[in-house]
A and B are shown apart, each in its own frame.
Chain A
Amino acid sequence: MSTTHTTEVINPSVHNDLADLKPEISDLGLRRPDHSKNVIIDWMTTVDHKKIGLMYGAMALFFLLVGGFEALVIRTQLMVPENDLISAQRYNQLFTMHGTTMIFLAIMPLNAAFFNFLVPLQIGARDVAFPRINAFSLWAFVAGALVINFGWLLQALEMFGLFTASGATAGMNDFVPAMGWFGYAPITSTEFTGAGTDFWIMGLQILGVASLSASLNFIVTIINMRAPGMKMMRLPVFTWMTLIVSLLIIFAFPAITVALIQLMFDRVFGTNFFSVGGGGQPILWQHLFWIFGHPEVYILVLPAMGIVSEVLPTFARKPLFGYAIVVFSGAVIGFLGFAVWSHHMFTTGLGKIATAAFSLLTMAIAVPTGVKIFNWVGTLWGGQIRFHAPMIFAIGFVWMFMMGGFSGIMHSSAPADAQQQDSYFVIAHFHYVAIGGILLAIVSGIYYWLPKMIGKMWQGNLNIWVGIFTVVGLNITFFPMHFLGLLGQPRRTHTYLSGFGWESYNMVCTIGSYILAFGVLLLVVDIVRCFRSKQLAGNDPWDARTLEWATSSPPKVYNFAATPIVNARDGFWADKYGPENRKLGEVDESHGIHMPSQSWMPMIASAGFIPLGLGLSLMQAGVPFMGYVAILGLVIIALGISLWALEGPGGYHLHPKKESN
């Protein structure tokens, strides 16, 4: 479909070309930053879900590299026994920040990048329901990431002799979080850890705000903004998974929010939720944390399943096998995900009955997970499998995810888990899920959708090498860890004695981690090459099935010149190959396309989180005047949100010419 338009100026606020769009004056009397010529201002004030998605993706990829670097230092330290490359304290900071970074700053925002870019396109909408809240979620995420990582800055300043904790800042120690991403009380109390824990608490809290607001936005978008005929059971599976994940976030994050508030109160105001001396219960933290933490696992993995459920049908040229049951099992996984949290706590003395119940429920969750795998295999059955880059990674995903699933079944037997818990066996398990599963699916998604996002096509065969290095590296790194765990090596240990039979395995793991890292590096190179590619992708380079491929690459700011009317599941495929009554229709929109105005306010409001988070953290450490900084942060947030409400929604109309093909 070509995308030529003619100008039809109906009134001053109606445009068809963004170039001659005149910024309007908002209700506050200020000029709206609509489509600034300054690229940086344009991106900072954008409310376009596609730009926001790309920014999520870029930042998440950056943090993926940061977390990967942290992992490489960890593996280098563990290469030989009794190594003293880094200190115990540094190691503990690294594994804490590796986990925190990968979960909250890499995988979740990578998923968010896909949600943002794809969901409105897949449902035939022009944007998300609340474009400015969407921008707010993005910038709140950035604020949270900065607060969590603030300790590294102090650490670096200290290393270069530019900062020492003395005088007014004497109360500061342990700038970088070092209590594990799980932060088990009471090691998070002020008795055992310093300012790093406060940065971590405040950072996670801010990230929670970002995730919650984004999730509400997606739920409303998916429920309300579907194109005509896009019934729920016609939604692409990726959109379905987005909906389920958003619901999981809405229900799971309050648990960690409460836990973090309690922890913050313990630290800042001396309450006794978790401190034994005051009658508190450390075990309470674990329950609250895992009531969030286990659904979080599915928050991470369901989007990956969604991506694969899009890629496999496209490249097998068949509909997803058992669409309804795949969607339903995703929902069942999400639901059961709330009922298995204590399998992270089999060694905490739950008692026989609770252990038995959580053991059985954990086994039960293997059923819907297995169903998904069966259905993916069924999708391929009878297809015409084309091994393009996205498909290679999707096929790898199914295989590696299955491996992670098997060790998951092994954990579900509580007595067997008593030997596996907190050993390298667990590390092997969840890295097969996290890298073999989630990361491979995300790479598959990048290869699949990046041409749509930037309009350019991949070049050459580097993708095959990316696949070889990541899959081989992942297996060399993590397969031996099953044995390391069963041979008794505990997790989270910065070094180990020789003579326990762990040396050769650790050496192999470390070599594998470098191979894996090289694969990720090649991926980055390939992405850069794609951006520099001269070859245009066209609307539909893969002969795909869903609506996002029906529009231009990259899509125009308004996504679709005319809102499509959907008459089938896999609507775009039906449009190409289906009978006449299944083809896409077009909604008559002669009044023009209403587009939202850009705004500074989401970014200003979320910028307030930085002084708020840092102020509360440093106040705990005894740095003077930090309470006022925190109050300043609150004022900025309140001001940002108020002005946001007062500036009015604005908006303008575009009249693109109906496409003529």
Chain B
Amino acid sequence: MSLLSLLLISGCDLNTRMSTFTAKGPVAETQLNLFMLTVWVTGFIFLAVGGVYVYVVIRFRDKKDGNESIPSQGHGNPLVEMGLIGVSILLLVIIAVPTLQGIWYTHDVPDDESSLLGSWYTNGDLSEADAKEPFIIRAIGYRWWWEFEYPQLGISTANEMVIPAGRPIHIELRSVDVIHSFWLPKIAGKVDLIPGRANSMWIQAGDTIDAWAKKAEFEGTDNERLLAYEQYLEDEIYDYYYGQCAEYCGDSHARMLFRAHVVKDEDFYAWVNRMDAGHAEAPEGMTWDDWYASYDETPEELTGDVHEGLKLFMGRAKCATCHAVKGNPRAVGVAGPNLTYLAERHSIAAGWLNHRNDDNSVDSEAQLNNFIKWIKDTDEVKPGNLMWKAKGAGIGELDPLLNDEEIRKISLYLQSLQ
């Protein structure tokens, strides 16, 4: 009955945004394979025991034929018991052995040469120590958003990470307040971020070229191999992946989402270089020195929505108290998400407000509306969050509150961060 309903329901789409059925990396794949093994084994038990059960309930029902004789009062059979216990143990061993292999495999980045950052990273120099480590991303949980640091590359972003396909990544999991959990279902099951504890996990989007070639039993020249591998990544792996906090972390736990862009190496390098350089120029091509000279001495000369938005960002709205924008020498806050190239992200408010088109471009009209909504109703979009109520810096404390025109200007400035 249940198996039937399983089939019926599986007529529904199992390839949804956070589906664990469409594993896109070796960790999630190992986890999915183990799950399917448990499904087959328990499915077998279900049919065997359930079948006998149904048979017994029907076969031995009271026939209501007036036969009041007492059934035989047999009370057990040690041989049957021992046999069934033996079979149960055997079935569990079928699950146990691959489980142990899976625990060891999914625990951390494979211990081999090709897992080291130095073996593939070709975008500039690495220190000797960094080259001998796996690629590290530090995911830091805050109520209720994610910081993603790339310590070996000296960059940092929030809520939307960018990662290269086919490369193993060691994720360091840290939390500054309560327990969170990093869950990117298509790429890896979850591991918790616990304050005061150095947890880690590994993820990899898609197979490495060697693993892929082995699985696909590919034969051909190195060049053909590379092209076919690139095609596999293109078809199946490069994508926009959805993740979410999976440990209850307070009021807005439901609104602590994140994203992962899985891209080819070249695109990843380009992104790293842009993030590293930051916004070298102030709006309209001014140097930061000129802009700040004007801001400090003659702010009324900085006119236009973007300039005025930035003035509010640095001034009355106190945004820079908590937010950093790399390049801007005075926007170096650390309590909130890093906003470098914010307008290139496809969502804000930790994945809750989205403005991504199907072709992976940004819907700028929706984006502007989202900025406005977020600044205006931040306490409604994410109840309890610090941007609204932080002592001394929350915009909910401003008197008067930001008006619609000011919010629009700040939003236009934020939209210029691209």
Contact in complex: A415, B190 (CB < 8 Å):
no
Question: Which of A92, A348, A387 has the most C-beta atoms of chain B within 10 angstroms of its own C-beta?
Answer: A348
| A13 at the B interface (CB under 8 A) | no
- Set of chain A residues within 8 Å of B38, measured between Cβ atoms: 409-410, 412-413, 416
Q: How far is the CB of A302 from chain B (nearest CB, A)?
A: 19
Contact in complex: B106, A366 (CB < 8 Å):
no
Contact in complex: A374, B102 (CB < 8 Å):
no
- Set of chain A residues within 8 Å of B197, measured between Cβ atoms: 281-283, 349
Stretch binding the partner chain, chosen from B66-74, B129-137, B292-300: B66-74
Contact in complex: B17, A377 (CB < 8 Å):
no
Q: How far is the CB of A486 from chain B (nearest CB, A)?
A: 5
| A497 at the B interface (CB under 8 A) | yes
Contact in complex: A186, B177 (CB < 8 Å):
yes
| B302 at the A interface (CB under 8 A) | no
Contact flags B172-200 to A (C-beta < 8 A → 1, else 0) = 01000111010101001111101111011
Within residues 1 to 58 of chain B, which ones have a CB less than 8 A from any CB in chain A? 2, 5, 9, 12-14, 16-21, 28, 30-32, 34-35, 37-39, 41-42, 45-46, 49-50, 52-53, 56-57
Taking CB as reference atom, which chain B residue is nearest A408?
A: B42
Q: How far is the CB of A327 from chain B (nearest CB, A)?
A: 12
Q: How far is the CB of A102 from chain B (nearest CB, A)?
A: 17
Contact in complex: A500, B12 (CB < 8 Å):
no
- Set of chain B residues within 8 Å of A323, measured between Cβ atoms: 75-76
| B81 at the A interface (CB under 8 A) | yes
Q: A88-B252, A418-B191 are in contact. Are A490 and B245 (CB under 8 A)?
A: yes
| A2 at the B interface (CB under 8 A) | no
Taking CB as reference atom, which chain B residue is nearest A188?
A: B178
Tell me the bound Cα distance from A373 to B45 in angstroms. Answer: 12
Contact in complex: B50, A402 (CB < 8 Å):
yes
Q: How far is the CB of A529 from chain B (nearest CB, A)?
A: 25
Contact in complex: A413, B20 (CB < 8 Å):
no
- Set of chain B residues within 8 Å of A347, measured between Cβ atoms: 181, 189-192, 246-247
Q: A87-B383, A352-B107, A356-B103 are in contact. Are A378 and B31 (CB under 8 A)?
A: no
Taking CB as reference atom, which chain A residue is nearest B190?
A: A347
Tell me the bound Cα distance from A413 to B199 in angstroms. Answer: 20
- Set of chain A residues within 8 Å of B16, measured between Cβ atoms: 487-488, 500-502
* Total of A-B residue pairs, C-beta within 8 Å: 294
Contact in complex: B254, A496 (CB < 8 Å):
yes
Tell me the bound Cα distance from A154 to B93 in angstroms. Answer: 54
Tell me the bound Cα distance from A322 to B83 in angstroms. Answer: 13
Taking CB as reference atom, which chain B residue is nearest A96?
A: B248
Q: Which of A184, A321, A384, A414 contacts B179 (CB 8 A)?
A: A184
Tell me the bound Cα distance from A385 to B34 in angstroms. Answer: 39
Taking CB as reference atom, which chain B residue is nearest A315?
A: B62
Contact in complex: A399, B34 (CB < 8 Å):
no
- Set of chain A residues within 8 Å of B31, measured between Cβ atoms: 415-416, 418-419
Contact in complex: B244, A366 (CB < 8 Å):
no
| B335 at the A interface (CB under 8 A) | no
Q: Which of A349, A375, A416, A492 contacts B191 (CB 8 A)?
A: A349
Stretch binding the partner chain, chosen from B84-92, B157-165, B213-221, B230-238: B84-92
Taking CB as reference atom, which chain B residue is nearest A189?
A: B178
Contact in complex: B242, A500 (CB < 8 Å):
yes
Taking CB as reference atom, which chain B residue is nearest A496?
A: B254
- Set of chain B residues within 8 Å of A501, measured between Cβ atoms: 12-13, 16-17, 19
Q: How far is the CB of A90 from chain B (nearest CB, A)?
A: 10
Tell me the bound Cα distance from A71 to B398 in angstroms. Answer: 39
Tell me the bound Cα distance from A56 to B174 in angstroms. Answer: 46
Contact in complex: B253, A319 (CB < 8 Å):
no
Tell me the bound Cα distance from A496 to B177 in angstroms. Answer: 23
Q: How many A residues, CB 8 Å from partner?
A: 94
Q: How far is the CB of A319 from chain B (nearest CB, A)?
A: 4
| B366 at the A interface (CB under 8 A) | no
Q: How far is the CB of B160 from chain A (nearest CB, A)?
A: 15
Question: Which of A375, A413, A423 has the most C-beta atoms of chain B within 10 angstroms of its own C-beta?
Answer: A413
Contact in complex: A415, B248 (CB < 8 Å):
no
Tell me the bound Cα distance from A496 to B39 in angstroms. Answer: 28
- Set of chain A residues within 8 Å of B30, measured between Cβ atoms: 415
Q: Which of B53, B85, B103 contacts A355 (CB 8 A)?
A: B103
Question: Which of A276, A382, A490 has the most C-beta atoms of chain B within 10 angstroms of its own C-beta?
Answer: A490
Contact in complex: A377, B52 (CB < 8 Å):
yes
| A577 at the B interface (CB under 8 A) | yes
Contact in complex: B88, A370 (CB < 8 Å):
yes
- Set of chain A residues within 8 Å of B333, measured between Cβ atoms: none
Q: A415-B34, A480-B9, A490-B245 are in contact. Are A410 and B39 (CB under 8 A)?
A: yes
Tell me the bound Cα distance from A317 to B190 in angstroms. Answer: 50
Contact in complex: A370, B84 (CB < 8 Å):
yes
Q: A317-B71, A387-B61, A413-B95 are in contact. Are A374 and B189 (CB under 8 A)?
A: no
| A363 at the B interface (CB under 8 A) | yes
Contact flags A546-570 to B (C-beta < 8 A → 1, else 0) = 0000000000000000000000000
- Set of chain B residues within 8 Å of A59, measured between Cβ atoms: none
| B99 at the A interface (CB under 8 A) | yes
Q: How far is the CB of B34 from chain A (nearest CB, A)?
A: 4
Contact in complex: B81, A89 (CB < 8 Å):
no
Contact flags A362-377 to B (C-beta < 8 A → 1, else 0) = 0110110011011101
- Set of chain B residues within 8 Å of A367, measured between Cβ atoms: 85, 88-89, 92
Contact flags A471-512 to B (C-beta < 8 A → 1, else 0) = 000000001100100111111111111011110100000000
Contact in complex: A281, B196 (CB < 8 Å):
yes
Taking CB as reference atom, which chain A residue is nearest B352?
A: A497
| A627 at the B interface (CB under 8 A) | no
| A381 at the B interface (CB under 8 A) | yes
- Set of chain A residues within 8 Å of B49, measured between Cβ atoms: 373-374, 377, 402
Taking CB as reference atom, which chain A residue is nearest B254?
A: A493
Contact in complex: A363, B196 (CB < 8 Å):
no
Q: How far is the CB of B81 from chain A (nearest CB, A)?
A: 5
| A320 at the B interface (CB under 8 A) | yes
| B96 at the A interface (CB under 8 A) | yes
Contact in complex: B179, A282 (CB < 8 Å):
yes
| B251 at the A interface (CB under 8 A) | yes
- Set of chain A residues within 8 Å of B329, measured between Cβ atoms: none
Q: How far is the CB of A177 from chain B (nearest CB, A)?
A: 12
Q: How far is the CB of B248 from chain A (nearest CB, A)?
A: 4
| A206 at the B interface (CB under 8 A) | no
Q: A488-B16, A488-B17 are in contact. Are A415 and B99 (CB under 8 A)?
A: yes
- Set of chain B residues within 8 Å of A630, measured between Cβ atoms: none
Q: A186-B177, A318-B71, A348-B194 are in contact. Are A377 and B250 (CB under 8 A)?
A: no
- Set of chain B residues within 8 Å of A480, measured between Cβ atoms: 9
Q: How far is the CB of A267 from chain B (nearest CB, A)?
A: 15
Q: Which of B102, B195, B246 contacts A423 (CB 8 A)?
A: B246
Contact in complex: B73, A500 (CB < 8 Å):
no
Q: A416-B35, A419-B31, A490-B244 are in contact. Are A377 and B62 (CB under 8 A)?
A: no
- 18 CB-based A-B contacts, threshold 8 Å: A92-B253, A187-B249, A281-B196, A283-B197, A318-B71, A321-B75, A322-B76, A325-B81, A356-B99, A374-B81, A384-B62, A402-B46, A412-B95, A419-B32, A486-B35, A490-B246, A491-B248, A492-B254
By Cβ-Cβ distance, the 8 closest A-B pairs, closest first, are A488-B18, A418-B189, A501-B16, A493-B254, A276-B196, A415-B102, A349-B199, A322-B76
| Interface contacts beyond A322-B76, A497-B257: sample of 6 additional A-B pairs, CB < 8 Å, sorted by A | A349-B191, A385-B62, A413-B95, A415-B31, A487-B21, A488-B185
Chain B residues in the interface with A (C-beta under 8 A): 2, 5, 9, 12-14, 16-21, 28, 30-32, 34-35, 37-39, 41-42, 45-46, 49-50, 52-53, 56-57, 60-63, 70-77, 80-81, 84-85, 88-89, 92, 95-96, 98-100, 102-107, 173, 177-179, 181, 183, 185, 188-192, 194-197, 199-200, 242, 244-254, 257, 352, 354, 383-384
